[in-house]
Structure 1
Amino acid sequence: MLRKINEATAMGFPRICGFAALGFAAMITLSNAIQVPAGLPAAGAELGEVVAFFGAESRIVGIGSALTPAAWVLATMFGAGVVSVLWGSERRRDEAWSLLGLAGLVLQNAAFAGVIAIRLALTSTTSTVTEGNGATAGLWALHDALFALNATFLALALVGLSVGGLRAGLIRRWHGRLGLVSAALLFASATLTTWFFGRTDAFGLLGLVGWLLWVVWIVAYGVTLIRLNRECAP
């Protein structure tokens, strides 16, 4: 079945993109492992907590943020790899699920670039001003809004690549269902958080579970692309 998806997979591009998926998962996990234990405030945190962290931990924020450009490149490569495998069969069915998923990855890269830019800006504003500074409060509110909306684009990527992979026989049912469950949790988190903006902590667990499932999903997809390349090789 996999041989019929795309003969070009034997050329190696999907395998490279499979390793890119693993690299992306490693990068975002490492970034969080560096910043969260250091006290990175969660969305909806009090302004005093925000000022204390970004004023004292600018180095930690810089190190964590330095990993994200590579993560965005790797995520885009992963999406392109899935498109390269699925596009032939999708064109025959007049579908474009994989392109929908790639669009979600590109949009989440753009949204999270805004999140990282705001975090870096906060390391400057909080080091010279008091807790009541309006610029800091405004930046943090914008940070929370972008962070919440980013889950929408993750959900789009999960739906597009999961449905496309299932319909082409590229991924197993449990893998596709995992992606759809993660998408549902992330979309619900984004919707509820924006609806009740200012009380984002109430929906933090929903988004966290969806995010953890997303990491497992992308690792499994990366392994699938790597193994696909081996199975199609002569």
Structure 2
Amino acid sequence: MLRKSQGGAALGFSRITGLAALGFAGTIVLANAIMVPAGLPLTGAEIGEVDAFFGTRGDVVAIASALTPAAWLLATLFGAGAVSALRRFERGRDEAWSLLGFTGLALQNVTFAAVIAIRLALTSTTARRSPATGGLWVLHDALFTLNGTFLALALIGLSVAGLRAGLIRPWHGTVGLVSAALLFGSATLTPLVIDHTGPLGLLGLVGWLMWVVWIIAYGVTLIRLNRDRDPAASGPSADRLG
């Protein structure tokens, strides 16, 4: 189990990456708070609704998209901090759950970069009344929903690693694993989610909200994590969430 630190309050790597986790959660919530009230079409929306939004709200799309590079950077920092905290525990047991989680974070960054690129492209194709709009929107919906697979990888890897190392509480790990199940279920049902607007879309939504709660809790954990100042220490140390 991870040991409790007597270290000082210096802003170490774990604290920086914990703050990055909180920043990532805040950034993705803010981006959605900008897009959704402005009328962002739901997955599976009719092309007329897509044309109406992207043809008239290009400014909103641009503002929300400008936040995403910071989100990807912060997500990567968070993943690096979690891996750094967990790898010493895992090496002694020949495990790599944390690396699985980091891989999921990296893949979701790549996938969502494609989603944002398509949204920006839609602001151009709708203005020009291009026939490419329909195909772009279907591709957008498919990538957006399938991204749940990579979020699930991140949640499973870092939740299992955190639980086995004693870094996170059982409730926190449970939130992560339930969120992973919902997001993976939504990704598995992608064709149905795209073709049938309705309750199936709630799988991904609830899973995503739980993902945000999980990130915030992990960020707080990393902020409270202190490394022993003794370079001979055998592993990371942590103040667990109370």
| Same-fold call, TM cutoff 0.5 | yes
The answer for the alignment partner of 1:106 in structure 2 is 106
SS at match of 2:195: coil
1:97 maps to a residue whose letter is W
The answer for the alignment partner of 1:175 in structure 2 is 172
The answer for the alignment partner of 2:67 in structure 1 is 67
The answer as to 2:200 corresponding to 1:203 is yes
The answer as to 2:215 corresponding to 1:218 is yes
C-alpha distance in structure 1 between counterparts of 2:191 and 2:156, whole Å: 21
C-alpha RMSD of the superposition: 2.1
1:180 maps to a residue whose letter is L
The answer as to 2:157 corresponding to 1:160 is yes
Residues 193 and 200, structure 1, Cα contact 8 Å, conserved in 2 = no
The answer for the alignment partner of 2:232 in structure 1 is none
Which structure shows the bigger proportion of residues in helix conformation?
Answer: 1
C-alpha distance in structure 2 between counterparts of 1:50 and 1:26, whole Å: 26
Structure 2: runs of 5 or more not aligned: 229-236
SS at match of 1:2: coil
2:169 maps to a residue whose letter is R
Q: TM-score, normalised by structure 1?
A: 0.92
The answer for the alignment partner of 1:87 in structure 2 is 87
Q: TM-score, normalised by structure 2?
A: 0.89
The answer for the alignment partner of 1:128 in structure 2 is 128
Residues 104 and 152, structure 2, Cα contact 8 Å, conserved in 1 = yes
The answer for the alignment partner of 1:149 in structure 2 is 146
State the 1:228 CA deviation.
1.4
The answer as to 2:39 corresponding to 1:39 is yes
For these two proteins, the number of residue pairs brought into alignment is: 228
The answer for the alignment partner of 1:193 in structure 2 is 190
C-alpha distance in structure 2 between counterparts of 1:103 and 1:200, whole Å: 31
1:172 maps to a residue whose letter is R
> Which of structure 1's runs of 4+ aligned residues deviate more than 3 A?
194-197, 230-233
Greater shift, 108-117 or 190-199, is seen at 190-199
1:161 maps to a residue whose letter is L
Change (3 A) 1:11 1:35: closer
Residues 149 and 194, structure 1, Cα contact 8 Å, conserved in 2 = no
Question: Sequence identity of aligned pairs in percent?
Answer: 71
Structure 1: runs of 5 or more not aligned: none
